[in-house]
Amino acid sequence: MAALSDKLADAYQNARPRYPIDWFTKLAARTGQHKLAWDVGTGNGQAAIGVSMFLHLLPKLAEYFEKVVATDINEAQLKRAVKHERISYHHTPTTMSEDQMVALVGGDNSVDLIVAAQAVHYFDLAPFYNITKRVLRKEGGLIAVWVYNDLVISPEVDAIMKRLVDSTFPFRTPIMNLAFDGYKTLPFPFEGVKGMGCEGKPITLDIPHKLSLKGFIGFLRSWQPAMKAKERGVELVTEDLINRFEEAWGDDDDVKDIFYKAHMIVGKLSASDIERHRKRFESNCVVTKLKDSNNSAVIASVTAAAFAGVAAYCAYSARKNA
Ligand SMILES: C[S@@+](CC[C@H](N)C(=O)[O-])C[C@H]1O[C@@H](n2cnc3c(N)ncnc32)[C@H](O)[C@@H]1O
């Protein structure tokens, strides 16, 4: 994802929605335990804060996420993240190994809910899914990914937006295509959760948001497809287009109730994933035991040698003194 200037990063942050609290309530209700959540590709922490808001709303319930680990490869985004006592933010450069990532997040078989909000399409999927399958709690752990790719503002504004979206075709990257098709083609090697989508069949949800004209224009300027086109020398968000949006918006001071169209898939580990993990874990235990027994053998022979040395010295001293 291209790095944004401070000004564009502000615009980006203002236009991005907070995710509806009932999403987290639903996810938490289907998660076996509520000790640890991982918000991966957290950005400014939009999803991480959603998880912790859930904690505030339901503080008396026995079931909640006690801790949220939020990670991102972009340090600048993390600096702008919303702070919360239960969220720990970590910079995770792509140079980190699988074992380092697993340890940082909480270890094998430790995470109850993994959330990748508007993010998984940027990831190198194979290594990410390997880590996911290790850290996800084998009993009751869930992974939820979602993307929002469309705005519903008003018939007048939406018509211009549709033409703008169509104009991005020549500049779309494979990553953008995953987002534009609402994760229908996203590889998602997990077992679906009833009513919450599965690979190839995401569910569609609305995210209500309030947006001003200024916020909308900021959103357009920080919009990745338009930025990609700009990198290739084509300005899609021209002054003329902005004028047309302004006209279609109506009153400049109007803050509109809008919707983002989102697409979500929730998954859990399959029985074969759990079996693979169990075997891997067992073979690790055997190696550790072997190491331990080798260590014991070494300690025993060193101790024996030390005793033999002391005994020989005592015998030598006794002979000398006799
Ligand atoms: C569109 S933002 C979404 C941020 C936030 N989750 C939200 O819902 O608004 C995508 C984020 O994914 C991060 N990202 C991209 N590739 C990543 C990777 N391999 N590992 C972790 N984060 C990554 C980017 O730095 C960026 O902050």
pLDDT per residue rounded down to tens, the chain (322 residues): 545 555 556 666 666 788 888 888 899 899 999 999 999 999 887 777 766 555 444 332 223 688 889 999 999 889 888 888 888 999 999 999 999 999 999 999 999 999 999 999 999 999 999 999 999 999 999 999 999 989 999 999 999 999 999 999 999 999 999 999 999 999 999 999 999 999 999 999 999 999 999 889 988 888 889 999 999 999 999 999 999 999 999 987 889 999 999 999 999 999 999 998 888 777 776 655 555 556 555 555 545 555 555 455 545 555 555 5
Q: Find the angle CA(47)-CA(48)-CA(51) to the nearest 5 degrees.
A: 90
Separation of alpha carbons 71 and 11, rounded Å: 22
Residue bearing the CA closest to ligand 1, atom 4: 43
Separation of alpha carbons 315 and 301, rounded Å: 21
Ligand 1 atom at minimum distance from 74 CA: 25
Separation of alpha carbons 222 and 227, rounded Å: 7
Separation of alpha carbons 277 and 283, rounded Å: 10
So what's the pLDDT on residue 320?
54
CB 266 within 8 A of CB 208: no
- What are the tokens at 240? 């003329």
Question: By C-alpha distance, which of 43, 224, 41, 30 is closest to 140?
Answer: 30
Mutate to test the pocket of ligand 1, among 122, 147, 149 (most ligand atoms within 8 A of CB): 122
How remote is the CA of residue 41 from the centroid of ligand 1, in Å?
3
How remote is the CA of residue 3 from the centroid of ligand 1, in Å?
11
CB 151 within 8 A of CB 161: yes
CB 134 within 8 A of CB 195: no
Domain boundaries, the chain: 6-269, 273-322
Class of domain 6-269: alpha beta
**50 CB near ligand 1 (under 6 Å):** no
At 268 the three-state DSSP class reads strand
**222 CB near ligand 1 (under 6 Å):** no
CB 70 within 8 A of CB 88: yes
